[in-house]
Amino acid sequence: MLATTLEADPYLGRLLTGRIEQGTVRPGTTLKALSRDGTEVERFRVSKVLAFRGLARQPIDEAQAGDIVALAGMTRPTVADTLCDPGLDVPLPAQPIDPSTISVTFRINDSPQAGRDGSKVQSRVIRERLLREAQANVAIRIADTPGGEAFEVAGRSELQMGVLIENMRREGFDLSISRSRGPGC
């Protein structure tokens, strides 16, 4: 199966969705993930196989070739990775993920207006939220800056950064954002 979408579920962990190209999969099956170049990313045991039934996902006992399913149980594989039997070594052909084009720095708000717009003001809380976003969004990269109180966030566009910033603001985060940098600006 070629992983085409990624989600982070608070109970199941990382979920990868795709169409099974060949074979069958059941909960408890051991699989491995191969990157586009064929290197092994991780071996894992499938904890849940979820099939799409209407608008909802239902756990199923077995999925076979042609089924579109979401698999749970892995920690590191991502979009464009091949999930396969441990005996296979050739990944399915996949398009590369586009690289980030801009970056901004997220930091605690140290202005005189700090604490008026939101209650989530600690760098630790900001970092945890950014890492959660990076788990479910393959286009975002997070890097700590020296000192640990600011975070370099790279993404694909100013619109993507704007949506992330607005979502965090609505969740009660009070933070300071630098101007965007990069060729996409």
What the chain holds in terms of domains, given with CATH numbers, is 5-84 (2.40.30.10), 102-177 (3.30.70.870)
Place 46 in a pLDDT band, splitting at 50, 70 and 90: very high
H/E element, 129: helix 123-136
Place 112 in a pLDDT band, splitting at 50, 70 and 90: low
- pLDDT (0 to 100) of residue 119: 63
| 35/52 Cα distance (integer angstroms) | 25
pLDDT tens digit sequence for 68-85: 999 999 998 988 999 999
Q: What mean pLDDT do residues 15-20 have?
A: 94
| 41/60 Cα distance (integer angstroms) | 26
pLDDT tens digit sequence for 114-126: 656 666 667 788 8
> 40 - beta bridge partners?
34
- pLDDT (0 to 100) of residue 111: 59
